[in-house]
Chain A
Amino acid sequence: KAGVTQTPRYLIKTRGQQVTLSCSPISGHRSVSWYQQTPGQGLQFLFEYFSETQRNKGNFPGRFSGRQFSNSRSEMNVSTLELGDSALYLCASSLEQGNRYGYTFGSGTRLTVV
């Protein structure tokens, strides 16, 4: 079965712009979580969506937002980009909320803000 698909794989944006990242979870998975990965901060939790509702949120500013559609696909949006937003953004899907059985991750979107 198909894995978790994230698009695009690479993105270069200018400071002040906004960006939308997409994630298609494994078929049947209803939970999608987003993480930001940087060399300095490691993996930081952004938010989790389950059945189109945000169930959990990390400590990121309001410029970071997301949504989930009825087919479980999720998008993440970052507005007014800052240089510090440059990172690998990982999407992870699971069957249930707050997955106790482990995530299936996508390959990530590498965002570079210049």
Chain B
Amino acid sequence: AQTVTQSQPEMSVQEAETVTLSCTYDTSESNYYLFWYKQPPSRQMILVIRQEAYKQQNATENRFSVNFQKAAKSFSLKISDSQLGDTAMYFCAFISGTYKYIFGTGTRLKVLA
């Protein structure tokens, strides 16, 4: 069975610092896609970043970047220069040929002023 694991239920970081959120997954498929979504208190989930498994280059979107280790089945999210607006739940997600998204349980990130 395919699974996504986020082992850090809660994290905090000082404003302007860097934080890394962990995600591991398990699959026997070779072609798949990985995502990080952010859910602020407003409840609306927002796509932060996306990674295609066949691409070795790590995805980057402004202050957000990933460390994708395919062999280790690891997909961590790094947030640089953390801002108060980054306070949210962060979900790691996976989709493959079955077309069913699998979400992790989430990491609650709090950015401290």
Q: Which residues on A are within 8 Å of B, measured CB to CB?
A: 33, 42-43, 45, 48, 55-56, 58, 88, 90, 92, 97-108, 110
Which residues of the partner chain A approach B102 to less than 8 Å between Cβ atoms? 45
Interface of A is mostly: strand
Name A100's contact: one of B43, B95, B98, B100 (CB within 8 Å): B95
Which residues of the partner chain A approach B43 to less than 8 Å between Cβ atoms? 88, 107-108, 110
Q: Known interface pairs A48-B99, A107-B43, A108-B43. Does A102 touch B50 (Cβ–Cβ under 8 Å)?
A: yes
Q: How many A-B residue pairs have CB under 8 A?
A: 49
Residue contact A43 to B103, C-beta cutoff 8 Å: yes
Which residues of the partner chain B approach A48 to less than 8 Å between Cβ atoms? 99
Shortest CB–CB separation between residue B68 and chain A, in angstroms?
16
Residue contact A42 to B99, C-beta cutoff 8 Å: no
B side interface size, CB within 8 A: 22
Q: Which residues on B are within 8 Å of A, measured CB to CB?
A: 33, 35, 37, 42-47, 50, 52, 91, 95, 98-106
Residue contact B95 to A42, C-beta cutoff 8 Å: no
CB-nearest residue of chain A to B36: A102
Name B100's contact: one of A42, A45, A88 (CB within 8 Å): A45
Residue contact B100 to A56, C-beta cutoff 8 Å: yes
Name B105's contact: one of A42, A98, A99, A102 (CB within 8 Å): A42
Which residues of the partner chain A approach B91 to less than 8 Å between Cβ atoms? 43
Q: Known interface pairs A42-B105, A45-B100. Does A101 touch B44 (Cβ–Cβ under 8 Å)?
A: no
